[in-house]
Structure 1
């Protein structure tokens, strides 16, 4: 089993360097473009193995390493480009941490239907989430390491006008691809003030978005960092794997028992789940640890 997560950041919301710059310069003075990164997480599990092997890269770069226009985003040696045929091409050339290893390859994403809607995550609409193409197809070709596959993909975006920790205590996010072609998305947000805000949506193969009945909370085991996580459903899901575990963030794979179908990721019963604690992220001890996972290389030799 193989899986890949890519996140392109301009104004990296989980960057300790950006957080330190905002404290020194003031929130309105620290430039988002000076804190950009392409996060690459490549997971592979051998047949019969219980755990996933992981390669992780997230090198933060400065303003000179950022190039962008209407169809292209380049961050250091990696770039994302919308092709004339509508595909998104992602060329990756990064180095893993903490043990340096090259991550080099190309990802071609063919979007499906485009819902064309964004959703506010807070009452004041400072923060938005947009499911760009929940039902996409992808071809992955890596030369380092040598791995290749095709499969299902999901593409979305988040954007906001101020730091997440100013408005949110935490959130739980989950998405799964169903056998009938729908994508189910759960966004369960706990703001610093006011009631919990929850989005429970089904996105059809044609891009139509419809709200779903809100199901009861279902607890999940705490992580090794004592991160609390939960989801929603009629029955507790099975925790298949914890892919990422840190002091303020974790990413997991869950088996959705409500679907009654155990065919795996391609069958649409395995959900990707994320838990985020912004109050944990704000702790000085957490931000002191992050440079070991998120090195900063502000200058890049290929900058123009």
Structure 2
């Protein structure tokens, strides 16, 4: 799940000229499987409340207790699975990092890996209850992603005694980002030399994908989690320093996202709800 202030993939935010991020906020939740659901309701300023430790968007909220991030979900799935998505997610970090990374030399885009190692408990109703590895990060920016990037891939892979994250991007000016970091359970972050960037099988929408892996090993998708014309999220198996890992991977083609035809397609899955009144 993702909390957006300035919902970067919302067509309504794009059509608005992106002048007021707070007027296009949402809680995005995606579940997989036969009854998988997708929520990305674009809400106006009236639906947004913020404090030092909480973010509320309409009927959903996330709150930091000092030890856990507690997320209360109360949304509706978009077409074709129009059904309630309700429940609770609790993420407990092993530690909070102090790392912040500029994704462009001018610092207009930042990545903040708050808790790359965490435990998570998910209860979104029957069929969507589980616990396991969790991860918590944030991205922020002062310009549209597609203005500065053509393509990127990102991956987070848990290993026996640490987690590694890889960020690879092609910027619109032709320069590249090739970032590898490892994080231990105490929250210490160290930059590492990433293993080779290796092509993967394309997504169902023929989206280019690649990930980091030991020489001679080809990363492979084990489960598709989200497949769109410009974006793919999946569980991917790779091998790092001789250790096989199953982790989260995403590929984002911002050249495709720039195409005007995509915004009307997205509007079907991203409804706009301007009004909201919180209970007194």
Match of 2:263 among 287, 294, 299: 287
Which residue does 2:21 correspond to in 1? Answer: 32
What displacement does 1:148 show? Answer: 2.7
Tell me by how many angstroms 1:53 deviates: 4.8
Look up the match of 2:38. 56
Alignment partner of 1:114: what SS? coil
- Deviations 1:117-164, CA, capped at 9 Å, x for gaps: 100001111000011011111222223x46433222100000011111
Partner of 1:265: none
Candidates 198, 202, 211, aligned match of 2:178: 198
Corresponding residue number in structure 2 for 1:100: 82
Provide Cα deviations, 1:211-270, integer angstroms capped at 9, x if missing partner: 2223222111122222111112222112212221111101111111346556xxxxxx10
1:299 counterpart residue number = 275
Q: Which residue of 2 aligns with 1:188?
A: 168
Paired residue secondary structure (2:37) = strand
For residues 303 and 280 of structure 1, do their structure 2 counterparts lie closer, same or farther at Cα, with a shift above 3 Å needed? farther
Q: Between 7-16 and 250-259, report the one with greater CA deviation.
A: 250-259
Following superposition, the deviation at residue 56 of structure 1 comes to 1.3
Once residues 185 and 199 of structure 2 are traced to their aligned partners in structure 1, the CA distance between those partners, rounded to angstroms, is 30
Match of 2:133 among 148, 152, 158: 152
Number of equivalenced pairs: 277
Do the aligned partners of 2:212 and 2:238 also contact (CA within 8 Å) in 1?
no
2:14 match? 19
* In 1: Cα distance, 2:120 partner to 2:22 partner: 28
Gaps of 5+ in 1: 1-5, 45-51, 263-268
8 Å CA contact 2:159, 2:243 repeated in 1: no
Superposition pairs for residues 221-236 of structure 1, below 5 Å?
221-233=201-213, 234=215, 235-236=217-218
TM-score by length of 2: 0.93
> Structure 2: which 5+ runs fail to align?
none
Q: 2:113 aligns with which of 113, 131, 141?
A: 131
What RMSD in Å do the two structures reach over aligned CA positions? Answer: 1.7
* CA apart distance, 1:58: 1.0
- 1:7 is matched with 2
| Distance in 1 (alpha carbons) for counterparts of 2:156 and 2:47 | 32
Residues 164-183 of structure 1: pairs in structure 2 closer than 5 A: 164-180=145-161, 182-183=162-163
Helix, strand or coil at the partner of 1:256:
strand
Aligned match of 2:94:
112
Query: Which TM-score applies when normalising by structure 1?
Result: 0.86
The residue that corresponds to 1:42 in the other structure is 31
Distance 2:131 2:172 in 1: 41
Shift of 1:278: 1.2
| Offset from partner CA, 1:251-298 (integer Å, 9 cap, x none) | 111111346556xxxxxx102110001111111111110011111111
Alignment check: 8 A CA contact 2:60 2:75 kept: yes
Distance in 2 (CA, whole Å) between partners of 1:107 and 1:208 is 25
Q: 1:206 to 1:222 in 2, by over 3 A?
A: same
